[in-house]
A and B are shown apart, each in its own frame.
Chain A
């Protein structure tokens, strides 16, 4: 019982970190910039396809494709931000929904056109397959890697946004555009960079996730509900909140499936509804 508890905690935490990596980009674009970015999954999907293509066609090692996925998603997002998204920053939320859903539709069809509808196989390098057992708990290497990456990403983000000059500028630009402009902050640039950061993180999350959850053109839709759950439960504008939410959701989901499998499909939604009824602004939300 105790060893199974250890295993459940570890697997659940790792699953939570997978959810965190998939959704952290959204807590930047939606959480910080207040932009309802339903196209988040599309950037994740792009990251996934970049990784698969570089590995399969060009023989890149898996780890080297991760920064490439980040850069590709960030670069595309800058183009889209300048072309489309920035026009609707001040438009209503509903227009943002329609715009970004439109982008998702286009990305799904484009992915099917370019890469085909086939499920993309993802072969992890040998050092990531398998596991070791310690104190009766099964530690899978790839899950450890996910946990480590999630911790690093969290630290970098929190530090970067809280402690650097650029972070302060971004926060100022988001809180009060006009005032920030008056202080000589280049608001357009700050927004573009923040958006690129969020999308790049989506791309990174996508390329890390595909080894666990697979990749096909449906990816852009498939995990939308999950990432929205993580961000809303964590609270907008809070990286730490997303981290905590993902941990709670991951562990409760895996524990539920292990101990009460009949509840398996209900659990994540029950937890979400419960948390939001208790704290409508999310675990760490300020508004």
Chain B
């Protein structure tokens, strides 16, 4: 980091692919071979990871803590679900539609979001999310209300691959979308725009002085994050053919926040690692102990904070850092 005389050189150096990353992405193919019976879980992990990745863009890189991020997830899901009821079940175009609607709403609300920070920001995102939830509950003629949307029918992917019981299509599809979104994210955060976002996170007052307009940047990244969350929502609607109020709920917003912090916010892979650990742990704990698994998940979270502060990746990074220093 000391050699970061020229910012472009620094960015280029940062953007280079590390071998661990390549191994990681190759290993996401392992479930096909090693545990083909867990592909539905893997698919939902990939979707949650995408959702967490979108939160990381605003939370980890721009310092915008949101407790209402499920609003965009739910918008994507409902858009895909509602359109599919009207003889438009083509998954790829539904994904685009979900992204568009979520992005539009994201852009509109970003004008509010960009003006607030700290607790007010958290509570405003929470309030807007809950208002949308209540609106969806009221508009049961459109959304199906508390029973969930009925009649969601998705055509096979590319009119060829059925969404099968095993989840082969679902996982392949979710994984590809996650990877593409990841590439976009990686590109963004290793761009000068991404660098100035981090600057805003550290000090929103000073950044405009060096020519980075804080609010405009925040509006931009917030909209991008909303688009990605909308895609994640549309994906869950397509791969499960269900859409319900739960996609918009506070619970979902809180869960994804916990997942991201668990993995490590602002670390690119934090959301993905968090989603894998949290959802595999939840699946296993709740399988063994359906009534009291919350206890073990809670213990996991507490242990991570105690022994790996700044999330799993943050903690690990610190360990490897000190280990390297010692071995030198």
Contact A84 B120 (CB under 8 A): no
For the complex, is A145 an interface residue (Cβ under 8 Å from B)? no
A92 to B308 Cα, complex, angstroms: 13
A42 CB to nearest chain B CB (Å) = 10
Picked from B130, B258, B261, B302, the residue with its CB within 8 Å of the CB of A106 is: B302
Residues A102 and B299 in contact in the complex (CB < 8 Å), given A266-B131, A269-B127, A272-B123: yes
Residue ID in chain B nearest A229 by CB atoms:
B123
Contact flag A270-B116 (CB < 8 Å), given A102-B305, A106-B294, A113-B292: no
A64: CB under 8 A from chain B? Answer: no
Contact with A along B40-67 (1 / 0, CB 8 A): 0000000000000000000000000100
Residue B193 interfacial (CB < 8 Å): no
Which chain B positions have C-beta within 8 A of A242?
none
- Please tell me if the beta carbons of A276 and B126 are within 8 angstroms of each other in the complex: no
In the complex, 8 of the A-B residue pairs with CB atoms within 8 angstroms, ordered by the A residue number, are A94-B261, A101-B258, A109-B295, A228-B123, A232-B119, A269-B127, A269-B134, A276-B124
> Do the beta carbons of B131 and A225 come within 8 Å of each other?
no
Residue of A nearest to B289 (CB): A109
Q: How far is the CB of B111 from chain A (nearest CB, A)?
A: 11
Assembled-state Cα–Cα distance A106/B294 (Å): 6
Is the pair B304, A98 in contact by a Cβ cutoff of 8 Å?
yes
Q: Which of B116, B124, B297, B302 has the most CB of A within 10 A?
A: B302
Contact B134 A228 (CB under 8 A): no
Whether the Cβ atoms of B301 and A102 lie closer than 8 Å is yes
Whether a CB of chain A sits under 8 angstroms from the CB of B29 is: no
A168 at the interface (CB under 8 A from B): no
Q: A273 with B302: in contact, given A92-B310, A94-B265, A280-B116 (CB under 8 Å)?
A: no
| Interface of B (DSSP majority class) | helix
Which residues of chain A come closer than 8 Å to B316, judged between CB atoms? none
Judge whether B112 is part of the interface by a CB distance below 8 angstroms.
yes
Residues of B within 8 A of A88 (CB): 305, 309
CB–CB B119/A98 < 8 A: no
B257 at the interface (CB under 8 A from A): yes
Given A265-B137, A276-B124; A109-B301 close (CB under 8 Å): no
On chain B, the number of residues with a Cβ less than 8 Å from chain A's Cβ atoms is 43
Q: Quick one: which of A97-118 are within 8 Å of B by CB?
A: 97-99, 101-110, 112-113, 117
Give CA–CA (A263, B258) in the complex, Å: 31
> What is the bound-complex CA distance between A97 and B133, given in angstroms?
23
Partner among B127, B134, B311 whose Cβ is within 8 Å of the Cβ of A273: B127
Q: Are B306 and A106 in contact (CB under 8 A)?
A: no
Quick check: B298 and A277 within 8 Å, CB to CB?
Answer: no
Complex Cα spacing A209 to B154, Å: 47
Q: State the B residues within 8 Å of A (CB).
A: 65, 112, 116-120, 122-124, 126-128, 130-131, 134-135, 137-138, 250, 254, 257-258, 261-262, 265, 291-295, 297-302, 304-306, 309-311
- B127 near A272: Cβ-Cβ < 8 Å: yes
Q: Does A91 have its Cβ within 8 Å of any Cβ on chain B?
A: yes
User: Of A95, A232, A266, which contacts B305 at CB under 8 A?
Assistant: A95
Answer yes or no: A87 CB below 8 A from chain B CBs: yes
Query: B125 — nearest CB in chain A belongs to which residue?
Result: A273
- Given A106-B299, A225-B126, A273-B128: A97 touches B261 (CB 8 Å cut-off): yes
Per the bound structure, the CA–CA distance linking A89 and B126 in Å amounts to 24
A270 touches B123 (CB 8 A): no
Q: What residues on B are CB-neighbors of A91 within 8 Å?
A: 305, 309
Whose C-beta in chain A lies nearest to the C-beta of B304? Answer: A98
Complex contact B295–A98 (CB within 8 A): no
Q: A109-B294, A273-B124 are in contact. Are A84 and B306 (CB under 8 A)?
A: yes
Contact present for A87 and B306 (CB under 8 Å)? yes
Q: Are A269 and B298 touching (Cβ within 8 A)?
A: no
Q: Does A281 contact B (CB under 8 A)?
A: yes
A273 touches B301 (CB 8 A): no
A112 & B299 in contact (Cβ 8 Å cutoff): no
A277–B131 CA distance with the chains assembled, in angstroms: 15
